[in-house]
Chains A and B, each alone.
Chain A
């Protein structure tokens, strides 16, 4: 990675609280273009909140999040003035998000789910949007499900539509929020395979996951979050090696050693 290249996503001293509860206690993080970064950590450590701050589904009070140098949610210049709704929408279109519970639009078919953002946000003609939708649905292996409603699809298929919907917008960065947590075990791999492929093709990704094996194999870097802070980070192998000297990380990983990693 070029040393003087700006990171695509830069988070500085991010703080966030819900009422009295401090969820994020000063997060620093950077994601370079083409990099896939996995966030792991115990539940309640603030992973999902962090991810939701990156596209301003959650507001944050202190610190800053920048994508391509632009402040997320607030006007540039550091005076904490919230961007207008149109401006927020424009910026959110640059970050794709895939949700734990899929969140497909239930009244729209797979193709229409993908097309909505293309026609209404990207202002593409219907025909072109349809072609893009078909292209991405084929890429995620749903050639035969293009005109099905979400209720007619399995969880794994729904989630792949969710990925197609996010990626079709050609976002600068893709946010994945525990995208396999709601899936039956036998459906997890079909979704992870798609993500793995996207990572190999250079899609910039920030993913919260409980699949430690997947994080190890598919990401360039793993961030371990604990109690609202980044407790450890590094390339997968280095991070795993740190476990010996980091008690919290060791405790967290030991749960997976017995089950997932064998």
Chain B
């Protein structure tokens, strides 16, 4: 073997990776929060709306689901500022993109969750005199949350990995940090070994944490 592993240069620049990881997590958390707000709003709207609104929401969902994320990132970061005279930082632009992206997936998650709330529970809510909003707030949403928690966890893990796409517009997240070290030290194998382990450990940690949360909220239907 002609290649000798040497991690020294990696450790010297480890702060690039560490700060990148922190930013990746921040991007994922902020995006899923905004995305969940978008998704919930549209899902609630969808289940109570007429044909036109439903078609519009479906169009949004299908558009996002059928266009590669990286292309969406380019469209939002380069395309929109070109057409309208407007500029934003790569990070802000990427958060916007990832929020719209996760929002589209979460519309589907929340919509099926809302529809999975047993009809009997809604009848019971009606029977004690709750108004439609109260039924949504006190009956439908709590049960929906429990039903959708596993799907939410999975979406979050995916989003965390998807933050690596931000490297293409120079957002200094984990993958970008890895590339930076690679370009400056040429320790390509070492840097990607360390980066992969960092994604793996963090992703697995998140999964483990979220499964605990799910167990805590698990309720028989």
Interface of A toward B, CB cutoff 8 Å: 55, 57, 85-86, 89-97, 99, 101-107, 116-117, 120-121, 149-151, 165-166, 169
- Determine if B146 is an interface residue (Cβ-Cβ < 8 Å): yes
B131 touches A99 (CB 8 A): no
Give chain B nearest CB distance to A179 CB in angstroms. Answer: 13
- Bound CA–CA A97/B129 (angstroms): 11
A169 neighbours in B (Cβ, 8 Å): 128-129
- Bound CA–CA A241/B120 (angstroms): 37
- Bound CA–CA A116/B138 (angstroms): 8
- Bound CA–CA A92/B120 (angstroms): 15
> Which residue of B has the minimal Cβ distance to A100?
B120
Give chain A nearest CB distance to B134 CB in angstroms. Answer: 5
A121 touches B128 (CB 8 A): yes
Query: Which are the 4 A-B pairs with shortest beta-carbon distances?
Result: A93-B129, A117-B128, A103-B120, A151-B220
Majority secondary structure, B binding face: helix
| Number of residue pairs A-B, CB distance < 8 angstroms | 80
Most buried by A among B127, B146, B219, B220: B127
B130 touches A85 (CB 8 A): no
> Which residue of B has the minimal Cβ distance to A118?
B128
Give chain B nearest CB distance to A90 CB in angstroms. Answer: 7
B129 touches A85 (CB 8 A): no
- Determine if B143 is an interface residue (Cβ-Cβ < 8 Å): yes
- Determine if B15 is an interface residue (Cβ-Cβ < 8 Å): no
A104 neighbours in B (Cβ, 8 Å): 124
B146 neighbours in A (Cβ, 8 Å): 107
Given contacts A116-B138, A151-B219, A151-B220, whether A105 and B131 have CB atoms under 8 Å apart is no
- Determine if B211 is an interface residue (Cβ-Cβ < 8 Å): no
Most buried by A among B120, B121, B128, B220: B128
> Which residue of A has the minimal Cβ distance to B145?
A107
Neighbour of A105 across the interface among B124, B129, B220, CB < 8 A? B124
Give chain A nearest CB distance to B168 CB in angstroms. Answer: 42
B68 neighbours in A (Cβ, 8 Å): none
B126 neighbours in A (Cβ, 8 Å): 55, 57, 89, 92
- Determine if B221 is an interface residue (Cβ-Cβ < 8 Å): yes
Question: Interface digits, B104-143 against A, CB 8 Å rule (1 contact, 0 not)?
Answer: 0000000000000010110111111111101000110011
B132 touches A103 (CB 8 A): no
- Bound CA–CA A89/B221 (angstroms): 25
B221 neighbours in A (Cβ, 8 Å): 106
B124 touches A99 (CB 8 A): yes
> Which residue of A has the minimal Cβ distance to B142?
A107
B142 touches A103 (CB 8 A): no
- Bound CA–CA A14/B34 (angstroms): 50
- Bound CA–CA A99/B134 (angstroms): 20
Give chain A nearest CB distance to B100 CB in angstroms. Answer: 30
> Which residue of B has the minimal Cβ distance to A91?
B129
Most buried by A among B121, B124, B134, B219: B124
